[in-house]
Amino acid sequence: MTHAEILSTNGFTEVDLTGGSLAVRSPIDGATVAHVHETTAGDMGTVIARSQEAFRAWRTVPAPRRGELVRLLGEELRAAKDDLGALVTLEAGKITSEGLGEVQEMIDICDFAVGLSRQLYGLNIASERPGHRMMESWHPMGPVGVISAFNFPVAVWSWNTALALVCGNPVIWKPSEKTPLTAMACQKILARALARFGNAPEGLHQLVIGGPDVGEALVSSKDVPIISATGSTRMGSVVGPKVAARWGRPILELGGNNAMIVAPSADLDMAVRAIVFSAVGTAGQRCTSLRRLIVHDSIRETLVEQLKAAYASLPIGDPRQEGTLIGPLVDEAARDRMQAQLNKARTEGGTVHGGESVTDGVPGGAYVRPALVEMPEQTETVREETFAPILYVLGYETLDDAIALQNDVPQGLSSCIFTLNLLEAETFLSAAGSDCGIANVNIGPSGAEIGGAFGGEKETGGGRESGSDAWKGYMRRQTNTINYSAELPLAQGVKFDI
Ligand code: UN1
């Protein structure tokens, strides 16, 4: 499909794609596909006030009824799956299957959140006082500011929005400036669900397209109690302290430097498949992408040879074409950063296989051959996250050394081990094992399901989104003590007779 076809057949044509100040380009060929209108920092006061007003109404709507809106959103997403997937491909450069997979992830979180809307449980707690009962209630918090990145332009929004809505919170969404079209499409799809829902408050979901000053207005407003931000560690290091300084709640999902340990007992054929998908899928632009391979010395050479062979035949090119596995990097700057990191790795003693620019594909796009880089040790460059398909290979002798290497980076998002040895697998998952928010056995570090809590430690920011009890991050906990006796006993046996 051509860009024009994608933009005209997906039902989003009524969106005004011309005359705005923000140029939108497709990573596929660098073509400018739209000029969209931006929200200004000066508009943000009104946006936030509208969100607060929506909150006052939405927080009293029963949670299962709020879930009905998310159920309808899930239905609309199912109907729009192909169109939205194609738009993700156009705007973020993902291959067709990954574009569709991202929309499926949205549908999945909607299903999860619908069930959750009847399960926002609190505890009953035994009171030490006669005739008293204690319990916990979970209440909505208020507007949630969602700041999302280009690489998962729609799924990360849906993780936050589906949970925020059932939890009784309105959303203000600032997408990446690189991917406003998919955001506008989501706003449209949600509008369809809202129309069917009937009586949701105005301003329950607002999209703000703009630069850092728009983000700054969200981040610094006391009236936006939760800021959920996904992106680089550098961005998080600015956002986190600002939100904390005004006593807001940050949910941060930042950089990863995800590793796989390959032990001698590993099924190497399976490991190779997992490595290739997680290292080069999405052109290495997932926060969960595999960036470091820590291989037992006894199998290192064999594995590297197998990987070199697998890398040699990878189809790179137009992500819309069937059979393509590696689409473009998001832009030229990303390709430059990749080349700079490879040069740094060389000066640190690395041997680089691949990594060249691919120029015989689609003109105008930043296509690269993925790089496999054998490193003598875990150097500074290896410890940095580069959003590109670079896989550093390191060797190890003992599992303890491998785990120490895996943990010895500033980031703590995802990790995995390939082993058929139960003791090694359990050690890796133990308190003395991986220090990441995600730790897997015999699968790669990327491609998590929505049922688990998603996020990581250290410079990854500590936030959790998506499944498990991540919803608690979107609500406030209230402890209630109820006295149904005719006495007023004090806790801890304190006497205070008047
Ligand atoms: C991200 O890259 O920001 O686990 C999110 C995964 C996807 C989500 C990645 N489900 O790779």
Instruction: State the pLDDT at residue 13.
Output: 62
| Residues 249 and 315 grouped into a single domain | no
| Residues 210 and 104 grouped into a single domain | yes
Instruction: State the pLDDT at residue 14.
Output: 64
Place of tokens 């993925």: 370
Query: How many angstroms from the chain centroid is the CA of residue 452?
Result: 13
Which of 228, 282, 454 for a ligand 1 pocket mutation test, highest count of atoms within 8 Å of Cβ? 454
- Identity at 497, one-letter amino acid code: D
Look up the CATH number of the domain holding residue 16: 3.40.605.10
State yes or no: ipTM above 0.90.
yes
Tell me the average pLDDT across 366-387: 98
Q: Among 165, 226, 233, 253, which Cα is nearest to 201's?
A: 165
| Residues 175 and 299 grouped into a single domain | no
| Residues 129 and 242 grouped into a single domain | yes
- The domain of 234 spans 3-254+473-479
Q: Could you list the active site residues?
A: 253
| Residues 235 and 302 grouped into a single domain | no
Instruction: State the pLDDT at residue 8.
Output: 76
Distance CA 108, CA 96 (A): 18
**Within 6 Å (CB) of ligand 1, which residues are found?**
105, 151-152, 156, 230, 286-288, 446-448
In a domain, 335, yes or no: yes
Q: What's the whole-model pTM score?
A: 0.97
Mean residue pLDDT of the chain comes to 96
477 confidence band (pLDDT: 50, 70, 90): very high
User: What token pair was written down for 146?
Assistant: 């969602």
Tell me the average pLDDT across 424-429: 98
| Residues 242 and 299 grouped into a single domain | no
In a domain, 453, yes or no: no
In a domain, 484, yes or no: no
DSSP string covering 321-340: STT--B--BSSHHHHHHHHH
Q: From atom 6 of ligand 1, which residue's Cα is the shortest distance away?
A: 447
2 confidence band (pLDDT: 50, 70, 90): confident
| pLDDT tens profile 228-262 | 999 999 999 999 999 999 999 999 999 999 999 99
Instruction: State the pLDDT at residue 208.
Output: 98
In a domain, 486, yes or no: no
Instruction: State the pLDDT at residue 7.
Output: 78
| pLDDT tens profile 305-321 | 999 999 999 999 999 99
Number of domains in the chain: 2
Instruction: State the pLDDT at residue 361.
Output: 77
Lowest mean pLDDT among 2-11, 141-150, 204-213, 226-235: 2-11
**Contact of 110 with 162, CB cutoff 8 Å:** yes
Distance CA 432, CA 454 (A): 21
| pLDDT tens profile 279-307 | 999 999 999 999 999 999 999 999 999 99
Beta-carbon contacts of residue 370 (< 8 Å; ≥ 6 apart):
279, 280, 283, 284, 311, 314, 326, 354, 355, 389, 390, 391
Tell me the average pLDDT across 427-444: 98
324 confidence band (pLDDT: 50, 70, 90): very high
| Residues 372 and 230 grouped into a single domain | no
78 confidence band (pLDDT: 50, 70, 90): very high
Q: From atom 7 of ligand 1, which residue's Cα is the shortest distance away?
A: 447
Indicate whether 10 pLDDT > 70: no
| Residues 164 and 269 grouped into a single domain | no
| H or E element, residue 230 | strand 226-230
Segments in 175-328 forming alpha helices (H): 180-197, 212-219, 233-245, 268-280, 297-312
Task: Give the Å distance between the CA of 475 and the centre of ligand 1.
Answer: 23
In a domain, 65, yes or no: yes
Burial of 383 (0-12, 13-18, 19+ CB in 10 A): middle
5 confidence band (pLDDT: 50, 70, 90): confident
| Residues 275 and 229 grouped into a single domain | no
Instruction: State the pLDDT at residue 468.
Output: 98
Query: How many angstroms from the chain centroid is the CA of residue 468?
Result: 15
| Residues 284 and 420 grouped into a single domain | yes
Look up the CATH number of the domain holding residue 293: 3.40.309.10
3-class DSSP state of 462: coil
Q: Which atom of ligand 1 is nearest to the CA of 448?
A: 4
Which of 228, 288, 436 for a ligand 1 pocket mutation test, highest count of atoms within 8 Å of Cβ? 288
| Residues 274 and 380 grouped into a single domain | yes
In a domain, 36, yes or no: yes
| Residues 177 and 95 grouped into a single domain | yes
Q: Which atom of ligand 1 is nearest to the CA of 446?
A: 11
Distance CA 335, CA 338 (A): 5
Query: How many angstroms from the chain centroid is the CA of residue 379?
Result: 27
In a domain, 17, yes or no: yes
**Torsion-angle region of residue 461: left (phi > 0), alpha (psi -120 to 50) or beta?**
left
Instruction: State the pLDDT at residue 12.
Output: 65
- Identity at 261, one-letter amino acid code: I
Residue 121 is classified by DSSP as -
- Identity at 470, one-letter amino acid code: A
Answer with the residue of higher pLDDT: 1 or 417.
417
Distance CA 51, CA 46 (A): 9
Task: Give the Å distance between the CA of 157 and the centre of ligand 1.
Answer: 12
Task: Give the Å distance between the CA of 172 and the centre of ligand 1.
Answer: 21
Distance CA 266, CA 170 (A): 47
